[in-house]
Amino acid sequence: MVTVSVCVGSSCHLKGAYELIRLCEETIAETGMRDRVNLKGTFCLGKCSEEGVTLNIDGEIITGVSPDNFMDVFKKNVLRKVRKE
């Protein structure tokens, strides 16, 4: 199980955290991984000054996430991990 935590602190909220949660939900459903990926929201991850939204994927902090690069981030950091399990 891979855990994806999307920061929903005020800064990330303004930078589109909820849009990313929607994209995550859609992608998890489309790839049939509901039982392999645990998606949740989290409080500020301390990277507010970075561009984009911050994610924590299995303890790894990833900054600069936006709808434009979301699929790349998801493939590299979530799909790859799920396939290794």
Q: Would you tell me which residues interact with ligand FES (CB under 6 A)? A: 7, 9-12, 44-48, 54
State the nearest-atom distance from the C-beta of 46 to ligand FES, in Å.
Answer: 6
Query: How far apart (Å, rounded) are the C-alpha atoms in residues 42 and 40?
Result: 7
Q: Which residue is nearest to ligand FES (CB)?
A: 9
Query: How far apart (Å, rounded) are the C-alpha atoms in residues 3 and 78?
Result: 9
State the nearest-atom distance from the C-beta of 39 to ligand FES, in Å.
Answer: 16
Task: Give whichever of 9 and 74 is closer to ligand FES, judged by the CB atom.
Answer: 9
In order, the DSSP letters of 44-76 are --S-TTSSSEEEEETTEEEEEE-TTTHHHHHII
State the nearest-atom distance from the C-beta of 70 to ligand FES, in Å.
Answer: 16
